[in-house]
Chain A
């Protein structure tokens, strides 16, 4: 790509998937409008889901998925050694994601429930940063295509990307949605980082906080409102722990 007549260096990037649904990678393959531009901005050297090319030289490693087996830990450590920049892609990679719901049971119990007499190997779920150092995190279940694009542009240009500080409610109100709290639902928009354009609430599904906590959030007050509305601690917990993304703000309180 040419910028002011100067060749910008095209970083070599790789995508690696671990325990997850691969929906975040898919957002990139599904960026029909800008896929071709994206491919001119970077050099994709590993993208197993869509490509047979495999190379060991890359600068940026995108890690999708949570870590839940010994061989995954080893694979991840190898990638960390190779890459200059490790980016956690999606809520599974950033926080463990829905995979963390496994935590409510013992490892033996979940293995027995699904595989019975034929046990398989598994570990308690970890986020990427619990295993190796992470340079940048892109949350979302799935990631927002538009935000991903903007982040890549910043990375390539070497400028800092800033996440929105305010919560999802701001975007939700801009979209003139009816507030779901008023419709008797638990919505975690007030404590969740904006940047998804309140996509769930636009479809009338409450926000369960996949993007992690907003810098500006007030959990104690939301918790009080929910309690006053008659929701039980279990009902509230079911939502706040759904993506395992809000423990940072909810753990001190409960």
Chain B
């Protein structure tokens, strides 16, 4: 049967920010499949000009409510690279733990509040309060842990207050760290229950060969700084990030698109896992779900996020043990203001994030560039949609089913749209 289909999703729900899906199928043939970002642009790079570099992390945290810690860290790393600052080891550990808190907060929010309703056939998490109370309670306990972690390590979950140029401005107190350690151990069974829950869902079976980009781990699963790698074999230094992104603009979208060896790339949990599988501390969980590199099913990004949550909880326990053993006296390095240029690459929940600044001799930002994960994913979402619709139509799927699959596909990338039009 030759079908016609006109799918228009205006302001897709359960994603951060505003985006539209347009699908047009005529007589069983795909005419148009578009992922259009219609968010109002915010111009952070322009606003940064003339600002003291110390204010840059405070401003750029406000690019994104969900990954504000990640933005602050990328910004700090770019500045510290520009000014040649080496931060103390303790500060590095505190920062990484704060980032782990954010990863947990973001991944659990996405898994339970944004993605799970599709799999449980409800419009939002709200009806689940009645129907699946136990699940909601697990979700809230895990999110609570993530929030407490960010509060203890960064002073506040959204828009951190104790991350500063040179290191951190205030050390967490050891009593809080002790409690946090206990809290994480207590939540491991909740994470295990979440794994069991997600094992019961049917992840759509869809493959489109994709180039995955992320940081490259040297000894550990990578989060902050290092070499850049792609599954098509591209390897670059952090400073050469522009060679990994190649931004361009499409008329129907306010977000820019990026490409590398193919017409699009993907970043995020699945990309990190594909490139750094051997460093995972939760490989057993990955195996239980049957994810192995290279996995080319974008829907599996949800599962990769869950695997990362377990990995991050294990690694956080290790980091806390180390921190609890060490004195907290040296938490920031002195530095001088001077002219410089620096790049900071950080793996935030949705993928690799770059900040790049030119700083003048007065310490003011002269020029800034920020490339956000969702910007890097937008083109891939766009091309995935086309392929997904073609496959679905060939398999005889109807409008409503195709529409739901398209929405789920976009959500699987966990796009952070207001971020992508910073």
Contacts and interface: CB of A to CB of B under 8 A. Distances in A.
Given A52-B14, A102-B47, A23 B159 contact: yes
- Chain B CB within 10 Å, residue with most, of A32, A35, A54: A32
Given A202-B161, A203-B161, A26 B65 contact: yes
Interface stretch (B140-148, B214-222, B320-328): B140-148
A114 B41 contact: yes
Nearest to B155: A203
B158 A23 contact: yes
Given A24-B65, A49-B14, A109-B46, A35 B140 contact: yes
Contacts of A27: 158
Contact of A72 (B40, B63, B251): B40
Interface in B32-82: 40-43, 45-47, 49-52, 55, 58-59, 62-66, 68
A53 B45 CA distance: 35
A203 B52 contact: no
Interface in A1-50: 17-27, 29-30, 32-33, 35-36, 39, 44, 47-50
A44 B123 CA distance: 12
Interface string A45-75: 0011111111000000000000011001000
B158 A142 contact: yes
Interface stretch (B109-117, B304-312, B333-341): B109-117
Contact of B123 (A19, A35, A51): A51
Interface stretch (A80-88, A115-123, A129-137, A216-224): A115-123
A231 B370 CA distance: 30
A98 B13 contact: no
Given A52-B123, A102-B47, A141 B14 contact: no
A29 B155 CA distance: 19
B49 A32 contact: no
Interface residues of B, number: 59
- Chain B CB within 10 Å, residue with most, of A20, A33, A49: A49
Interface residues of A, number: 58
B24 to A, nearest CB: 22
B113 A18 contact: no
A19 B159 contact: no
Contacts of A22: 16-17, 64-66, 418
B27 interface: no
Nearest to B10: A54
Given A50-B125, A202-B155, A33 B144 contact: yes
B258 interface: no
A200 interface: yes
B45 A114 contact: yes
Contact of B169 (A19, A20, A203): A203
Contacts of B14: 48-52
Given A98-B59, A118-B249, A203-B154, A141 B40 contact: no
Contacts of B68: 21, 23
Nearest to B65: A23
A203 B161 CA distance: 5
Given A21-B68, A205-B161, A36 B136 contact: yes
19 contacts: A21-B68, A23-B68, A26-B65, A30-B157, A32-B144, A32-B147, A44-B126, A49-B15, A50-B124, A51-B124, A51-B126, A52-B124, A54-B13, A110-B47, A120-B254, A203-B156, A205-B162, A238-B51, A242-B55
Interface of B: 11, 13-17, 40-43, 45-47, 49-52, 55, 58-59, 62-66, 68, 105, 109, 113-114, 117, 123-126, 129, 136, 140-141, 143-144, 147, 154-162, 164, 169-170, 249, 251, 254, 418-419
Given A50-B125, A205-B155, 18 more contacts: A19-B42, A21-B418, A22-B65, A27-B158, A30-B157, A30-B158, A36-B140, A47-B124, A98-B59, A110-B43, A115-B249, A120-B254, A200-B156, A203-B161, A204-B161, A205-B169, A208-B58, A238-B52
